[in-house]
Chain A
Amino acid sequence: MHSPVANDVAQKDVRIMVVEDVAFNLTILTDILAERGWQTVTATSGEAALDILAQDTDFQIILMDIGLPGIDGVETTRRIKENPVCRAIPVIALTADTASERERLLAAGLDGYAEKNFDSDQLFAAIDKHLFPACGNQQRAEPALAASGEHLDLDFKALLATYADEETLCRIAKAFFADTDKQVILLGTAMAAGDQAGILAGCHSLRGSSAIFTAKKLGAAAKELDALIRQGKKDEADSAWQKVLAAHESLRGFVTSRLNLSLQNE
């Protein structure tokens, strides 16, 4: 369950400044942060970051590249921490460096670090430590579009807001189940044959479709199956496969009922 603190910040109004001089890296980072619906403001140098902060300090986190041209990330952070208006904003270093380097960065005033490997789980974990301090660092924000919902596995209100009306949503739902029915059949065949590549491909497809349809439970079940297959845990994978099937059918039942649709055998 989310704490009030987590619920307050796990919304679209979270703003994060990303300071990074390589445009391609900036694109990847902003795309990762967009997975949670968070807003980003970007700066390509320390000077630019300080200019932005002189006008606007409404940021929950600053992600700071260290090897910036001009004043580097450490010096930029030092100047941020000198300014009483913005010193409370946590600054997380983006670094590919060693443990000793990280210790140096923390000693220099940075509040945390994340490896610059564009791993979204790792980046979110580093951010969550500061966004959700009241939750023992264990709280994870859900994607903004799945933040609420009348069903545990689907954010129906968000879907309606996204697709404008129930008629369009019906078309989307039919297409979703037409695709995922095929994916589940292919996945079942791969499971029966012990075809690891086929299973991973099936999990990938299911996770992609589930993410866009805000089907959290189905996406999570596919993710669990994927992880167990990669670890070679066949017995546990069989159990996870049953979870995938159950989540898919549960979702179909809910959507059929909520949209007054006939989705079976279409």
Chain B
Amino acid sequence: MPPDYSTILIVDNAEFIRMVVRLRLEGAGVAPKNIHEAENGQEAYDLLVAKGIANILCDYEMGVMDGIELATKLLIVEQRRDLRFILFSGTPLAKITAALAKTGLDIPIVSKTRLRESWTQAETISTWFPELAINLAQQQK
């Protein structure tokens, strides 16, 4: 299935975090039907394959297939260069940077403290997910 850049997947084992991220995305203009959720990396992988979701905002630490395992499977093993993958975490960023360096992954990391801020298309969505921002802009026309 071709990647759908109007869709985004939130991956976190905490429902509370997923809800906060969903509210942030809806506040930035993403349609609720285009926001999907998964509790862990395995569930996320299955959804991505089934629905062709192109944008992923994924927690770093999860019980079943964590964020780095999922990113490694998608971006290194399967070479899915069409995906936009962002890790977010409450773990010190230096620790994640070290973990990423071991895998060869080059993906953005965002602190979970950013979830306390309001997101706007211009400041956040377009930085993290450029194609999603373009889709939002086209919808607004």
Chain A positions near chain B (C-beta within 8 angstroms): 24, 27-28, 31-32, 34-35, 117-120, 143, 145, 162-163, 168, 171-172, 175-176, 178-180, 201, 204-205, 207-209, 211-214
* Residues in B neighbouring A175, C-beta threshold 8 A: 15-16, 19
**B residues in contact with A31, CB < 8 Å:** 93, 109-111, 113-114
Expressed in whole angstroms, the Cα–Cα distance for A181 and B97 within the complex equals 31
8 Å CB contact of A212 from B15, B116, B118: B116
Q: Which residues of B82-135 are within 8 A (CB) of A?
A: 90-94, 97, 108-118
Which A residue's beta carbon lies closest to that of B108?
A: A27
Expressed in whole angstroms, the minimum distance between the Cβ of B53 and any Cβ of chain A is 22
In the bound complex, do residue B91 and residue A204 qualify as a contact, i.e. CB atoms below 8 Å apart? yes
- Does B35 have its Cβ within 8 Å of any Cβ on chain A? no
A31 to B17 CA separation, bound complex (whole angstroms):
18
A176 near B16 with CB under 8 A, answer: yes
Beyond the given A31-B111, A118-B94, please list 13 additional residue pairs across the A-B interface where CB-CB is below 8 A: A28-B93, A32-B93, A34-B117, A35-B111, A118-B93, A119-B92, A172-B16, A172-B20, A208-B14, A211-B113, A212-B17, A212-B113, A214-B116
Q: Which of A24, A168, A209, A214 contacts B17 (CB 8 A)?
A: A209
Contact digits for B8-34, partner A, Cβ 8 Å, 1 yes 0 no: 000001111101100100000000000
Which chain A residues border B116 with CB–CB below 8 Å?
Answer: 143, 145, 162, 211-212, 214
* A205 / chain B contacts, CB cutoff of 8 Å: 13-14
Cα-based distance from A152 to B92 in the complex (angstroms): 26
List the A side residues contacting B109 at CB < 8 Å.
27-28, 31
A-B pair count, CB < 8 Å, reads 79
Of the candidates B61, B108, B111, B115, the one whose C-beta lies within 8 Å of that of A32 is B111
Contact A168 B23 (CB under 8 A): yes
Minimum C-beta distance from B68 to chain A (A): 15
Would you give the shortest CB distance from B108 to chain A, in whole angstroms? 7
On whether A179 and B111 interact (CB within 8 A), knowing A211-B90, A212-B20, the answer reads no
B17–A163 touching, CB < 8 Å? no
Is the pair B117, A201 in contact by a Cβ cutoff of 8 Å? no
Give Cα A92 to B13, complex, Å. 39
Distance from A248 Cβ to chain B, minimum over Cβ atoms (Å): 14
**Given the contacts A28-B97, A162-B118, A172-B20, A118 and B92 also touching, CB distance less than 8 Å:** yes
Min Cβ gap A165→B in Å is 11
Q: Are A163 and B23 within 8 A (Cβ)? A: yes
Please report the C-alpha to C-alpha distance between residue A27 and residue B127 in the assembled complex, in whole angstroms.
Answer: 12
When A and B form their complex, which 3 residue pairs have the shortest distance between CB atoms, in order from nearest? A208-B90, A175-B16, A118-B94
Q: Which residue of A lies closest to B90 (CB)?
A: A208
Known contacts A35-B113, A212-B116: does B92 contact A179 (CB below 8 Å)? Answer: no
Complex CA–CA separation, A119 to B15 (angstroms): 28
Given the known interface contacts A31-B110, A31-B114, A211-B90, the answer about A179 and B23 at a Cβ–Cβ threshold of 8 Å is no
Contact B19 A172 (CB under 8 A): yes
A118 to B61, CA, bound (A): 19
**Cross-chain contact A143 with B16 (CB below 8 angstroms):** no
Contact (Cβ within 8 A) B112 A208: yes
Q: Shortest distance in angstroms between A40's beta carbon and chain B's nearest beta carbon?
A: 13
- Per the bound structure, the CA–CA distance linking A209 and B12 in Å amounts to 11
Give CA–CA (A178, B90) in the complex, Å: 19
- Name the distance in Å between A108's Cβ and chain B's nearest Cβ: 27
